[in-house]
Structure 1
Amino acid sequence: MNDTQRAGTGAGLPAIEWIGTPDSPTREHIDTDALDRIRLGDGEPFPPSYRALIRQVGWGRLCGLWFIYPPVREGYADGWPGRTSRLSEHFRVVYADSRAEEYTWVIEPDGSWDLSERLEVFGWSENGDYLLWELGARTPQGELPIWESRGLGSLHRLGSSLDEALPLLHERATDPAAPDTPPFQPLPSFRLKG
């Protein structure tokens, strides 16, 4: 990863080229029209870096650990809003309970109780960590700040957009025993039963 890729563009144009394009991306269940049509809780569309990432790589495991949920066609699992709405609801319940119990460590090192109420989940890791957008804090380029809640017990600000946050996640997730793990692994899509 070079310095430009590590730093991000800062202009709403994603510096995600280091991820590459998988040989066989999984896109058949992604609702690409919804990438531009859906509005988030702040009334605005998905951030440009998120839309670019989904269009570039489709559905799969990022950095060997993370699932970034795309909008999916009716009848499919692992997407927006089904999975993300359940994860966001769980996040809000845990943080509301923590606030009531005065467990202030769950907002450390970078967050606040007010911030926790403005966060919306868009990604989840196999370790139980959450990636969240900070609604109401858009940049002029339409990007949203990215936050991570590690095990629902902390809030870490990762950057102003995905192109800033993803290199940090990649560095943390890289397994020294498996340095050749690709930045992105396509996964199959699944239809809902019934």
Structure 2
Amino acid sequence: MPECRPHLSDGGVDLSTEHIDFAALESFRFAEGGGYPPSYRDFIRRYGWARTFGLWLIYPPVFPGYADGRGRAEVLNERFRDRYRDGRAEEFEWMIEPDGDWARVEALHVFGWSENGDALLWDTSARRADGEFPVWESRGLDSLHLLGPTLSDALSAIRDTRSGSESRADIEPLPPVRL
């Protein structure tokens, strides 16, 4: 995880994980009964709370009293849904291009966010036999791009398309923030 062979800005020193709720990471269930995808669980166990490729924040489950966890992802999920409901009402078909459709929007759930306002989303209606969800990107909340069948594949796709800054660490651990 991920196949893109990330390197850490801290040289691989243990990450601060005291704020991550590992019990919730393992016990959470989506409406269809399955838990978090294995690639996401592996990412969180391995890297904790971190900035990925200098831009992407992937929200872990955190203990009460900490910011930047799955609660933040749920707020962003509502922002995503509101934006796409408005787009559908206005018949902005370009919002679901190049890879999506309006029916899929309701099955997408935010789990990551870029500092540019782009979303990483799981399609929770399409769980594979191995427990993985396809990963989508909504750039500027104005398009839908299928990135890959797992978080590992999606991160590889993101890394392959990022421009410049090869000296920037792939994964930069971030300190936990209290509310």
TM-score normalized with structure 2 length: 0.94
2:121 to 132, 137, 144: 132
Distance 1:26 1:113 in 2: 39
1:23 to 13, 19, 30: 13
Distance 1:17 1:149 in 2: 21
For structure 1, the residue ranges without an aligned partner over 5 or more in a row are: 1-13
Distance 2:80 2:23 in 1: 28
Aligned amino acid, residue 150 of structure 1: R
User: 1:26 touches 1:60 (CA, 8 Å); kept in 2?
Assistant: no
Identity %: 50
For structure 2, the residue ranges without an aligned partner over 5 or more in a row are: none
User: 2:4 touches 2:159 (CA, 8 Å); kept in 1?
Assistant: no
**Aligned runs of 1:79-98 on 2, under 5 Å?**
79-80=69-70, 82-98=71-87
Q: CA RMSD in A?
A: 1.3
Shift of 1:91: 0.5
Q: What residue number does 2:25 align with?
A: 35
Shift of 1:155: 0.1
Distance 2:47 2:6 in 1: 8
User: 2:49 touches 2:173 (CA, 8 Å); kept in 1?
Assistant: yes
**Aligned runs of 1:69-88 on 2, under 5 Å?**
69-80=59-70, 82-88=71-77
1:52 to 37, 42, 63: 42
CA deviation map 1:143-189 (0-9, x unaligned): 0000000000100001110111101111222x42x221111001111
Distance 1:162 1:188 in 2: 22
TM-score normalized with structure 1 length: 0.87
Q: What residue number does 1:157 align with?
A: 146
